[in-house]
Structure 1
């Protein structure tokens, strides 16, 4: 969630069922473990910060772009009211560009955790040998 919130325009992060879980009863939200694996994936592949081995499901909420051509009220550095009009090229929707950015951010986080685990394993082996 921290990494996703660092992406510009992100205002919310859901993992798994996310905010919808507040409407559910505990008995409906549980992901039972069966011999063939989990029966559901309400947790989005993460329980207690640890991967369950299921598909990781993350959704982000993006704020609308504020750089629009429509005049908006603001104030000057002296506190005087003025209107501002943003000029230039602007994206009407940042969501289109946000998808590959969020996917890349999640890949970076997963790679970081994988590498940390590899280092911890190597350190453990070296300590036993020395």
Structure 2
């Protein structure tokens, strides 16, 4: 088991943790596809976690903070594990242990979920509904 950390620089050595620093966006898909599980430990109320969606589309199981728009992205736990108290390390540890014990082979994420095609279709329906009402 090894934890890969992206976007952060190493401040000190930690056993079984590899720090990559900043990775160019074009190189990220290879890392997502190599990973088994993606941790999204934000402590902010993210409006939308693009990296979370990229990881899901690459086949990663997701464990993420239940803050901001993240629960919607994970369909309130359908597409991964939500951490209700992300400030508590024990909750993260427990979620990771459960993942390792259960080892879900793939996410239930439909391939076209969050796709541009479906987004355009939904926006067109929204525009039609708004036009009909006004």
Common fold: TM-score over 0.5: no
Higher strand share: 1
Higher helix share: 2
Return the structure number with greater relative CO, CA threshold 8 A, min gap 6. Answer: 1
Q: TM-score, normalised by structure 1?
A: 0.28
Greater Rg, structure 1 or structure 2? Answer: 1
